[in-house]
Amino acid sequence: MTYTEFKKIIDSKEPIHICGINGVSMRALAKELCSMGAVVQGSDRDPSPYLEEFESLGIRFVQGHDVENTKGAALVIRTAAVLDNNPDIVGAKKRGTPIIERANAWGMLMSRYKQSVCIAGTHGKTSTTSMIATFTQSAGCDPTVMVGGNLSNIGGSLRIGSDDLFIAEACEYKNSFLSFTPTIAIILNIDRDHLDFFSDTDDIIASFTKFAYLVPEETGVVIACQDDINTIKAVKDINRRVITFGTTPEADYYMDNIVSHDGFYSFDVIHEGKVLTRIDMNVPGMHNARNAVAAAIVADLLEVEPEAFKKGIEEYRGVGRRFEYRGSYNGARIFDDYAHHPSEIEATLKAAADMNPGRTICIFQPHTYSRTVSLLNEFADALTHCDLCVLTEIFAARETNFSGITSQKLSSMIKGSICMSSLEAAADFIRDNARPGDLIFTMGAGDVYKVYDILAQKVKCE
C-alpha cells in the first residue's frame, strides 16, 4: 500500500480497524489517524483502561477478537505480535480487506515530514527518543513524537506537532523498523535479543545495516555508537554519512571531564576538539549520559544552539517505567524499570550501585520463555549486580513454554536468590523485608510494576 492509497482511505471516512489498540504504539497510531480526520475503531483481548480517551476521540472499542470485528472496515492495522490466526485477521482476509502492520502505517505517515529522526537500538530507544523530544520542544521546535513509553511532558506516548519534524522510536523486532522512512537514523547499540525471530547476532547486525540504508543517500545521516562493536560492524561499509558518538576521542562527538554525583553524571560534549557544552544529567546512569551525546548530534543537525540543547536535555527527568521512582516504604526507595534484557538489567543495577544504597533488591520478572532460555547464563550474571534477587514467574507474553524453562531454573544459578509464586507474594516480601537505605526495583517488561500497587494497598507508602 502506498501513502496515497492510505490517505485516500483516511479521507474517505471509511473505518480503519486497529487490532491490539490497547498497546502503546497502536494507541498512539489511533490518535494520529484521528488527528488526520480518519474514522478509527479497534479491538483488544483485554478490557481497555483507555475507554474515556477512545470515546473522546470517537473511537469504537470492542473487547475480544472476533471475525465480525473487521466487518465494514476499509483497512486493518495490526502489530507484529498479532498472528494470522487472530479472528480479526481471519475475518479481514475472508472479506479481502487490506491488512498492514503498524510499522508500515507509521512509515507511510512519517514520510510526510521534512525530517524524521528514528531512534533504534536493542537498549535505550525509549529514553533517548524522550530526551530528543524534550530538548526539541524546549528549543522551540514543534515535533511530532511517537515514543514507546509514558513521557510526562507530552502527556503520554504521542505528541502531534507540525510537519517539519517527526521523532520516533524504531523497534527491530520482526524487522519492523525497516518500514520506517528516516532522514536521521540513530543506532544506540546492537545486542542479542528477539532470538525467536532473528537466527543469531549476525542476522541482527544485518537488519540494522538495512535500517541504516533507509536514510537518503545524499542528505541522510546515520548516528552510530562508537563504543559498541556490533553497531560499528553494522555501519562500517555503508555509503551513507555516518557520525559517531561515545566516551572516547575515537568518536566524532564524545564525553570528557566526566564526574559522577551519586550516579548522576556531568560531562563536556566534545566535537572537533572543542567543548560544545557541559551537561548535568538529571537521570542516573552512564548509559543515559552516553545516549545524551547522540542527542547532541541531533541538536547540531537540527541547528539547535548548544545552550538551548543544554537547557532542554537537563530538563529531561525520565520516562515511565525507566528507573521510575514509585514511592518509599519503611525508609526504602522503590523504583520500577522496564529492563528485560541482561545488558539493560546490568546497566540499571550499576546505576543503582552508584547511588550508594544500603542494599539493592531486584524483584525481576523474566519476559518470554524464548528470551529466558536463550540468554539464561547472561541473566544469571546480570542479576548478580544486586544484593538480593527475587524472581517471579516468567511472563509468557505471546509464547507457549515449549522449552520447559522456569524461574526456579534461573534462581538455581543466582546465589541467595529466591522465587515468588505471585506478584502479591512479591509485594508481601517488600513489606516484610524493606529497611532504611534500600533501593528496591520491580523490573521487567511484563506486569511486575503492579507489585508496588499491591503493596500500596496493604501498607502506607510515601
Q: Indicate if 94 and 211 belong to the same structural domain.
A: no
CATH classification at residue 78: 3.40.50.720
Q: Which of 315, 342, 370 is the last residue of a domain?
A: 315
Q: Residues 354, 335: contact at Cβ < 8 Å?
A: no
Mean pLDDT of all residues in 428-436: 97
Q: Indicate if 308 and 199 belong to the same structural domain.
A: yes
**The pLDDT of residue 123:** 96
User: Domain residues for 154?
Assistant: 113-315
Looking at the 3D structure of the chain, how many domains does it have?
3
In this prediction, what percent of the chain has a pLDDT beyond 70?
100
**The pLDDT of residue 212:** 98
CATH classification at residue 305: 3.40.1190.10
Q: Residues 441, 337: contact at Cβ < 8 Å?
A: yes
pLDDT of 81 higher than 90: no
Q: Indicate if 191 and 117 belong to the same structural domain.
A: yes
Q: Which of 296, 315, 334 is the last residue of a domain?
A: 315
Mean pLDDT of all residues in 190-205: 96
Q: Indicate if 213 and 191 belong to the same structural domain.
A: yes
Q: Indicate if 221 and 369 belong to the same structural domain.
A: no
pTM for this model (two decimals): 0.91
Mean pLDDT of all residues in 419-428: 98
Q: Indicate if 62 and 101 belong to the same structural domain.
A: yes
Q: Indicate if 52 and 87 belong to the same structural domain.
A: yes
Q: What is the mean pLDDT of the chain?
A: 96
Q: Strand order of the sheet with strand 75-78? A: 60-63, 40-44, 16-19, 75-78, 99-101
Q: Indicate if 69 and 212 belong to the same structural domain.
A: no
Q: Indicate if 280 and 380 belong to the same structural domain.
A: no
Mean pLDDT of all residues in 320-349: 96
CA angle 230, 234, 240 (to 5 degrees): 145
Q: Indicate if 90 and 151 belong to the same structural domain.
A: no
Mean pLDDT of all residues in 367-389: 97
- For 372, phi and psi rounded to 5 degrees? -65, -45
**The pLDDT of residue 197:** 93
**The pLDDT of residue 356:** 93
CA angle 158, 344, 365 (to 5 degrees): 90
Q: Residues 387, 421: contact at Cβ < 8 Å?
A: no
Secondary-structure percent of the chain, ordered helix, strand, coil, rounded to 5:
35, 25, 40
**The pLDDT of residue 153:** 87
How do residues 261-316 score in pLDDT, each as one tens digit? Answer: 999 999 999 999 999 999 999 999 999 999 999 999 999 999 999 999 999 999 99
